[in-house]
Amino acid sequence: MDGPIAGTGAHGDHPFYPLGVQVPGYVANSMSAAVLVLIFAVGCGVIFLPTYLVASRARPALPTCELLATFWFVLCGCIHLFFEGYFSYNHLDMASKMDLFGQLWKEYSLSDSRYMTQDPFVVCMETVTAVFWGPLSFACAYLIMTEHPLRHPLQLIVSLGQLYGDVLYYAICWFNELVYGIAYSRPERFYYWMYYVLCNAFWIVIPLMLMYQSVGETAAVFAKVKKAASGKKTI
């Protein structure tokens, strides 16, 4: 790996695509891809232990699916608030960052250079994600552990927010490729499929499942209360 010497921003000085994209101030990572991915994965895993300890004390009879939802929201809270918040805060100068999060974002950007180029959509969407879905994800975890009546409306809000942001994130990228022939990922399949497609697919599949759960549970209690109010049944 090169040392921390800033490039001119022209292609050849940096590894990002499409060809010709300007990334001023780029400094090559000092950590390898394998080490960065490993640190990120271990970091995500480590979050589960304190979450488990707090959740099992707060609500000892927590069903497994509820424990998994709590894990998910704590993980989302950490990623949105700290990792995506880091990007939002530093979006004007991401290419020169050499701390752990800076190097992680540079590694991820091999699959999507918009994180290195102050792309307006990516910056705005990530800022909304960090400012709103980050803290609200922690709130969701708390509401699950306390069986709070606000849990399902908030779960629905956070999950739809994540889903819609992610749908636009994919859609705008594909639109640019189809209509303008601009691809933001390096041509190696690994980056596109493992970083860009796989990493973001979690925020399509899991929010959809949680929305399905929240809509179902909410409709069920409204139906229950309506039935009780109509005098047919006392719950």
**Applying CB under 8 A, which part among 19-27, 32-40, 103-111, 146-154 lies near a second copy?**
146-154
CA distances for 59 relative to 78, 137, 142, 218, angstroms: 22, 18, 11, 21
Tell me the per-residue interface mask from 63 to 102 with a second copy, x by CB under 8 A, - otherwise: -----------------------------x----------
Number of residues counted as binding a second copy (CB under 8 A) = 46
**Applying CB under 8 A, which part among 45-53, 60-68, 95-103, 221-229 lies near a second copy?**
221-229
Q: Out of 76, 79, 104, 154, which residue is the one contacting a second copy (CB under 8 A)? A: 154
Q: Out of 1, 61, 229, 232, which residue is the one contacting a second copy (CB under 8 A)? A: 229
Does residue 149 bind a second copy (CB under 8 A)? yes
- Select from 87, 85, 77, 82 the least CA-distant residue to 112: 87
**177, HSE (Cβ side, Cα atoms, 13 Å):** 14
Q: Out of 7, 102, 161, 207, which residue is the one contacting a second copy (CB under 8 A)? A: 161
**Beta carbons of 42 and 68 less than 8 angstroms apart:** no
Nearer to a second copy, 100 or 160 (CB): 160
Q: Out of 124, 130, 135, 190, which residue is the one contacting a second copy (CB under 8 A)? A: 124
Site for a second copy in 191-220 (CB under 8 A): 211, 214-215, 218-220
Q: Which residues contact 17 (CB under 8 A, 6 or more apart)?
A: 113, 183, 184, 185, 186, 187
Return the structure tokens found at 109: 């950007």
Rounded-to-integer distance, Cα 52 and Cα 56, Å: 6
Q: Out of 175, 187, 201, 209, which residue is the one contacting a second copy (CB under 8 A)? A: 175
CA distances for 117 relative to 84, 109, 147, 155, angstroms: 15, 10, 43, 32
Q: Out of 14, 80, 152, 186, which residue is the one contacting a second copy (CB under 8 A)? A: 152
Rounded-to-integer distance, Cα 152 and Cα 212, Å: 11
Give the Cα-Cα-Cα angle 79, 40, 18 (nearest 5 degrees): 85
Q: Out of 6, 194, 199, 221, which residue is the one contacting a second copy (CB under 8 A)? A: 221
**Interacting residues toward a second copy by CB under 8 A:** 92, 118, 120-121, 123-125, 127-128, 147, 149-154, 156-157, 160-161, 164-165, 167-168, 171-172, 175-176, 179-180, 211, 214-215, 218-226, 228-229, 234-235
